């Protein structure tokens, strides 16, 4: 059985931030409407675009929180 490195539990908690980035876009009824419009763009489209930005930010936060701090050694 493989053991987790130190901070494995903390790493798993950080990964929970990725859940909304996956689940929210799959729940279509929450954004399946035309109104409210933003600069003439229906809600359906700008909400999805907003989630692209939110997901990118969440992925960046998780990446920097869980990445290994060691630098690779050159040969």
**Chain segment 2-24, per-residue pLDDT in tens:** 555 556 677 778 888 889 888 98
| pLDDT tens readout for residues 28-40 | 888 878 888 888 8
| pLDDT tens readout for residues 34-57 | 888 888 888 888 888 999 999 999
Q: Which residues contact 31 (CB under 8 A, 6 or more apart)?
A: 43, 44, 47, 48
Instruction: Decide if 31 contacts 5 (C-beta within 8 A).
Output: no
Domain boundaries, the chain: 14-66
- Tell me the backbone φ, ψ of residue 33, rounded to 5 degrees: -155, 165
pTM, whole model, 2 decimals?
Answer: 0.70
Confidence of residue 60 (pLDDT cuts 50, 70, 90): very high
Instruction: Decide if 58 contacts 18 (C-beta within 8 A).
Output: yes
């Amino acid at each position: 059985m493989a053991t987790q490195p130190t901070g494995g539990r903390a790493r798993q908690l950080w990964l929970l931030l990725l859940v909304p980035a996956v689940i929210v876009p799959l729940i279509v009824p929450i954004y399946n409407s035309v109104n409210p419009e933003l600069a003439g763009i229906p809600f359906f489209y700008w909400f999805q675009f907003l989630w692209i930005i939110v997901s990118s930010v969440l992925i960046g936060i998780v990446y920097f929180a869980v990445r290994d701090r060691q630098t690779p050694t050159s040969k």
